[in-house]
Amino acid sequence: MITGSIVALATPMKVSGEIDWEALRHLVGFHLDHGTDAIVAAGTTGEPTTMSFAEHFDVIRTIVEEVAGRIPVIAGTGANATSEAVELARYAREVGADYCLSVCPYYNKPTQEGLFQHFKAVAEGGDLPVILYNVPGRTCSDLYNETVFRLAEVPNIIGLKDATGNLERAEDLIERLKGSDFALYSGDDPTACEFMLMGGHGDISVTANVAPRAMHELCQAAVAGDSDKAHQINTRLMPLHTALGVEANPIPAKWALNRMGYAEKGIRLPLTWLSEKYHATVDEALQLAGVLEE
Catalytic positions: 133, 161
Question: CA-CA distance, 129 to 181, in Å (whole number)?
Answer: 13
Indicate the SS3 state at residue 86.
helix
- Asked if 26 and 265 count as a contact pair (C-beta separation under 8 A), the reply is no
Which has the closest alpha carbon to 166: 140, 205, 207, 194?
194
Question: CA-CA distance, 291 to 294, in Å (whole number)?
Answer: 5
* Burial (Cβ within 10 Å: 0-12, 13-18, ≥19) of residue 203: buried
251 assigned binding-site residue: no
Which has the closest alpha carbon to 132: 180, 93, 166, 89?
89
Where b means 16+ CB within 10 Å and e means fewer, 101-124 reads bbbbbbeeebeeebbbebbbebbe
- Asked if 291 and 240 count as a contact pair (C-beta separation under 8 A), the reply is yes
Question: CA-CA distance, 23 to 123, in Å (whole number)?
Answer: 32
Name every residue whose Cβ is closer than 8 Å to that of residue 91 and which is 6 or more positions away in sequence: 57, 60, 77
233 assigned binding-site residue: no
- Asked if 37 and 284 count as a contact pair (C-beta separation under 8 A), the reply is no
* Burial (Cβ within 10 Å: 0-12, 13-18, ≥19) of residue 276: exposed
Q: Cite the annotated binding site by residue number.
A: 45, 204
Q: Cite the annotated binding site for pyruvate by residue number.
A: 45, 204
